Amino acid sequence: MRILWIQAKNFKCYSDIKVPSQGILPKGLLFVEGENSVGKSSLFDAIFYALFYDPTTTKELGTKDDLIRRGYSETEVEVAFELDNKCYLVQRNHSQKTAVQAYLQEIDAASALQGTISGKRKISEGVVEVDKKITALLNITKEKILNTLVVRQGSVQDLAEAKGAELRNIIYELFQLDFYRDRALEIIKEKKLKLDEGKKKYGIERTTEDIEKGIKETNESIKQSKKDINIYDSDVERLQIEISNFPDFKEVQEINGLTQRLDQQGRTIKLKQVSISELGKKFELKEPINQKNIESRSKEFEKIIEQNLDKKKTIEKEIEILNEERSKSEIERENFSERKKSLEKIAEKSDKPQCDVCEQEISESKFKELLNRSTQNIPALTQGIKKKEDAIKTKRSETKNLEQTNFQVQRDINKLASLINDIEELADLNDAKEEIENLIQSSLQNYKVKSLNELAQKFKLNNFSELFDHIKSLEEDIKKNELNKKHKLNTIGEKSELIEKLKKQIEENKKKEVELAKIDMEISIFDEVRTLVEKFIAEDLISNRMLAGIQQATRGYIFLFTKGRYSELYLEPTKAKTLNMSIKDEELGFVKSQNLLSGGDKAAIGLGLRIGISELLKRIRPTKDSPIEPPKMDILVLDEPLGSLDEERRSKVIEGLVAEKRFSQIFLITHTNIRNRFRAPMITVQSGAKGSTVSLHYSPSEVEEEAEE
């Protein structure tokens, strides 16, 4: 991969820049020089923003608003890059009010390599889709880029300081060893899950020992049930002998039913008699109450109704007369009222009095007489109308009282009619009682007795009720024993079937136990395979391949960056699944633990580790047949890695970077003036009133010429 150009608008400290302004960025080492806080790191933040930024997952660059230049509301970054002989353009933008937008396009390679854009073809759009596509193209995640290819300011020694489990986890993640372990363990887990599901098919719900115990208990229960049946048979035989000495239960039951009917009939007759007597007293009827007396009283009530109706008609006629008189008085009052108004108008309009009827002149005394008569008659007529209205109201009240009285009298007539029905029903009830008594006597004749008590005494019992209860009790005991016997026989049948089922379960358990033993053996084999997989990754991949590769890849860098003092790096796995790091000190002649390294040593060794691992990632696979391709992003971004190094070590690091040909581009950010000693293209960053500016100089002499100008 190779970055061709970077363009940013209102991004952090930049207003509007394009690097380079014409053409494309060269391959190899590029110095990025400038004073502190002018935006050197922000230039590469722009690259990272364009390729990978998502505010929900990318925390390294800060919030959306942090990335927009102060005083502006939106930002946009565009980065062009070359990969596998194709060229791509990735664009990303957002504002304070809108979400991040991302676009990835393929552009014409020939034009792009000249620094221009043509032949655009959209590949993907949207933050999620663009991130997926770029990760697939580069075959590396942004997290791994930060751990290897990008060395941020102050983090150069992080890898050299990582210890134990942290160091082991970093290597696992970088070389995707988790993929193999997790995939293998996932396959083992899937197989074990299938086996566990298979075990459900052969699940033993009840153990054979428990089933055999159940069979034994069931047989004991059957034996007890057979004993109970013998007891029930003996009781039935005894009861049948005893009940044979008494009258037939059905006949006694029939007589008992008749006696209950007779008692009920007697209670009904008594209630009916009380009702008739109370109603007779209410209407003052003489005993014995008969239909003739009732009809006579009904006629008296009917006569009262007729009399009240006549009174009502008379009152209604009087009301009619009063209404007519009231109407006449109202008309007369209206006439006097109109005449009074007319005379008053004449008095207002004319000095000479006139008759309001003939309009002839009349004397003033005559005029006053006419006016006084009209004035005096109006209140007298009003008072008369009021008296008539009161009289009408009183008369109407009287008619309502008569109607209410007639309603009550009619209710009494209806009650007298129902009383006749009660007398007739009482006669029917007495007839029915006599019929029941005859039936009882007919039944008693079969036993040659005249009463129910005599029948009971014949069997040495006090009364018929005791006789019936005793025979009924014997009959119920017989039925109860027979029912219990039937229940026990059913229970024996059910338990016999249960025993057969339990015996079949024992046979099924034996078959299942054989299958379960096979499955358990397979599960134990997979458990062993799991252990072997983890051991293989821990020992073979880590110890024999990855660690050896890392040690070999970093040896030259560490030797160069430490001026030959340190040579061999040792990474040794422990039983606790961690890694111990140590390094051979050529000057002192022994192997040092990482704890004994100075700050400068850690910076030089950490940088060597980062570059060595980054280079190793490009060409090595965890296994020979691994489906995972190495990353295609072969760019190094080193942000102020020289700060902790002395002058000699800085020179050695830069010499090594200048000579390094295994990375397509190496961006070395520094505020140290190094152009006089090393000849390489340089990007200079300077602050200005309109934002920081960026310039590319293909030769250090260009920078010197600018400085002289």
Spell out the domain ranges in the chain: 1-137+671-709, 254-446
Helix (H, G, I), strand (E, B) or coil at 648: helix
Which pLDDT score, from 0 to 100, does residue 626 have?
55
Q: Cβ of 665: how many Cβ atoms within 10 Å?
A: 18
Q: How long is the chain?
A: 709
- What are the backbone angles phi and psi of residue 5, rounded to the nearest 5°? -160, 165
Which pLDDT score, from 0 to 100, does residue 539 have?
54
Which pLDDT score, from 0 to 100, does residue 674 have?
61
| Cα 240 versus chain centre, distance | 69
200, two tokens: 């459900």
Class (C level, CATH) for 254-446:
mainly alpha
- The model's pTM: 0.50
Which pLDDT score, from 0 to 100, does residue 563 have?
82
Which pLDDT score, from 0 to 100, does residue 534 have?
63
CATH fit for domain 1-137+671-709, picks 3.40.50.300, 3.40.50.2300, 3.40.50.1000, 3.40.50.720:
3.40.50.300
Inter-residue long-range contacts of 65-74, CB under 8 Å, 24+ positions, other chains counted: 65/96, 67/11, 67/12, 67/94, 68/10, 68/11, 68/94, 68/95, 68/96, 69/10, 69/11, 69/12, 69/13, 69/14, 69/15, 69/691, 72/10, 73/97, 74/10, 74/98
Measured between alpha carbons, how far is 201 from 195 in angstroms, rounded to an integer? 10
Q: Cβ of 684: how many Cβ atoms within 10 Å?
A: 20
Scanning 8-96, the segments in alpha helix (DSSP H) are 40-52, 64-67
348, two tokens: 């207002």
Name the helix (H) or strand (E) containing 91. Answer: strand 86-95
Residue with tokens 């676009």: 103
Cβ neighbours of residue 41 under 8 Å, at least 6 residues apart? 152, 153, 639, 669
Which pLDDT score, from 0 to 100, does residue 184 have?
72
Helix (H, G, I), strand (E, B) or coil at 157: coil
Measured between alpha carbons, how far is 575 from 164 in angstroms, rounded to an integer? 11
Strands annotated E in 305-415? none
Which pLDDT score, from 0 to 100, does residue 708 have?
44
What is the DSSP code string of 436-493?
HHHHHHHHHHTTT-SSHHHHHHHTT-SSHHHHHHHHHHHHHHHHHHHHHHHHHHHHHH
Summarised one tens digit per residue, pLDDT across range 373-424 is 888 889 999 999 999 999 999 999 999 999 999 999 999 999 999 999 999 9
Which pLDDT score, from 0 to 100, does residue 179 have?
60
Mean pLDDT per 10-residue interval, the chain, length 709 residues: 95 94 92 87 91 81 90 95 95 94 96 94 94 89 75 68 71 63 76 82 85 92 94 93 89 90 93 91 87 90 94 94 93 90 81 70 80 88 93 94 94 92 91 92 87 88 91 93 94 93 91 87 82 62 67 83 84 75 86 84 82 74 58 82 79 82 86 65 89 86 52
